């Protein structure tokens, strides 16, 4: 019967269709692999890499036989090809340890870190009158103990300078004492110079200097500029 005949022919037609499809896919796959293989050879030639082979399974590349110092460069060149999906490398072709430069050669080992600079040793604290006077002069030159105009109020820098002096004098031997001499600008009240010295004396005592190791005196008006006159001087003395 006609229906029976068509039912017998249908499986045959389906098999033929599947076969033709498989042939088409296989042929297209071969074309892709051939094209990618040709591109791979050109890419390796462009970067000057030889000594190995590249094969494709579809869009997946496999590299074999490349020297270890060229393997990373070969992989990089193949990965850059448009259409390549994955790249694997086989055999004794592992890239060398360490970062690889664009030429494929391992980069030079990193330079050892520079040694830390040797810290500047802290100078030993003075032990005699001359040593203390030299250190006092150095500190006062760096940060003078100065006051606001016509007041006994220390400037911010002046207070910082006085505190530095206090750190030094707390370790002074009992055989020494320190005269604090106040100064005022020309034309200012001479009494102000003594009060400025007293301000510094009290600050030193509050910060660990013995009460009998610092005493205050006044000085005549300074002949210098007003900024130079608003300060105190400190002198080391032997008891």
Question: Which of 47, 72, 96 delimits the end of a domain?
Answer: 96
Contacts made by residues 99-107, CB under 8 angstroms, sequence distance 24+ = 100/72, 100/73, 102/73, 103/73, 104/47, 104/49, 104/69, 104/70, 104/72, 104/73, 104/74, 105/69, 106/69
The number of residues in the chain equals 239
What is d(CA 100, CA 98) in angstroms, rounded to the nearest whole number? Answer: 7
Looking at the domain assignment, is residue 119 inside a domain? Answer: no
- Domain shared by 145 and 88, yes or no: no
Give the 3-state DSSP-derived string for the chain, with helices as H, strands as E and coil as C: CHHHHHHHHHHHHHHHHHHHHHHHHHHHHHHHHHHHHHHHHHHHHHCCCCCCEEEEECCEEEEECCCHHHHHHHHHHHHCCCCCCEEEEECCCCCCCCCECCCCCECCCCCCCCCCCCCCCCCCCCCCHHHHHHHHHHHHHHCCCEECCCCCCECHHHHHHHHHHHHHHCCCCCCEEEEEEECCCCCCCHHHHHHHHHHHHHHHHHCCCCHHHEEEEECCCCCCCHHHHCEEEEEEEEC
What mean pLDDT comes out for the span 25-32? 63
Same domain, 133 and 234: yes
C-alpha Rg value of the chain to the nearest Å: 46
Structural domains counted in the chain: 2
CB 214 within 8 A of CB 145: no
Measured distance CA(165)–CA(42) in Å, rounded: 78
Residues 88, 133: one domain?
no
Residue 4 lies in a domain: no
In a domain, 160, yes or no: yes
Is residue 167 domain-shared with residue 76, that is, in the same domain?
no
Across 71-80, 105-114, 132-141, the highest mean pLDDT is recorded for 132-141
Residue 106 lies in a domain: no
Question: What's the pLDDT tens digit per position in 151-193?
Answer: 999 999 999 999 999 999 998 999 999 999 998 876 667 789 8
Q: What is the mean pLDDT of residues 101-123?
A: 60
Q: Considering the domain boundaries, does residue 209 fall inside one? A: yes
Q: Of 44-53, 105-114, 123-132, 186-195, where does mean pLDDT reach its minimum?
A: 105-114
- CATH number, domain of 54, equals 3.30.1340.30
B/e letters for 101-118, b = 16+ CB within 10 Å, e = fewer, are eeebebeeeeeeeeeeee
Burial of 11 (0-12, 13-18, 19+ CB in 10 A): exposed
The residue segments making up the domain with residue 53 are: 27-96
Q: Can you give the CATH number for the domain in which 208 is found? A: 3.30.1330.60
**Measured distance CA(66)–CA(89) in Å, rounded:** 9
User: pLDDT tens digit string along 41-77?
Assistant: 888 888 888 878 888 888 898 888 888 888 888 888 8
Question: Is-contact 77 49, C-beta < 8 A?
Answer: yes
Give pTM, 2 decimals.
Answer: 0.48
Over pLDDT 90: what percentage of the chain? 31
């Amino acid at each position: 019967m006609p229906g029976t005949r068509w039912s017998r022919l249908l499986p045959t037609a389906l098999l033929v269709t599947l076969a033709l499809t498989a042939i088409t896919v296989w042929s297209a796959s071969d074309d892709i692999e051939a094209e990618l293989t040709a591109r791979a050879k050109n890419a390796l030639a462009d970067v000057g890499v030889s000594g190995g082979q590249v094969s494709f399974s579809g869009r997946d590349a496999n590299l074999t036989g490349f020297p270890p110092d060229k393997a990373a460069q070969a992989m990089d060149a193949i990965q850059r090809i448009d259409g390549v999906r994955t790249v694997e490398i086989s055999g004794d072709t592992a890239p060398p340890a360490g970062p690889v430069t664009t030429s494929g050669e391992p980069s030079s080992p990193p330079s050892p870190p520079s040694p830390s600079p040797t810290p500047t040793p802290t100078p030993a604290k003075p032990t005699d009158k001359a040593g203390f006077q030299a250190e006092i002069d150095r500190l006062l030159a760096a940060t003078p103990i100065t006051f606001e105009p016509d007041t006994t109020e220390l400037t911010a820098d002046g207070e910082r300078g006085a505190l530095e002096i206090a750190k030094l004098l707390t370790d002074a031997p009992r055989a020494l004492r320190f005269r604090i001499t106040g100064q005022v600008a020309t034309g200012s009240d001479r009494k102000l110079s003594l009060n400025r010295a007293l301000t510094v004396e009290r600050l030193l005592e509050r910060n660990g200097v013995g009460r009998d190791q610092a005493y205050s005196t006044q000085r005549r008006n300074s002949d210098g500029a007003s900024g130079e006159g608003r300060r105190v001087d400190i002198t080391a003395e032997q008891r």
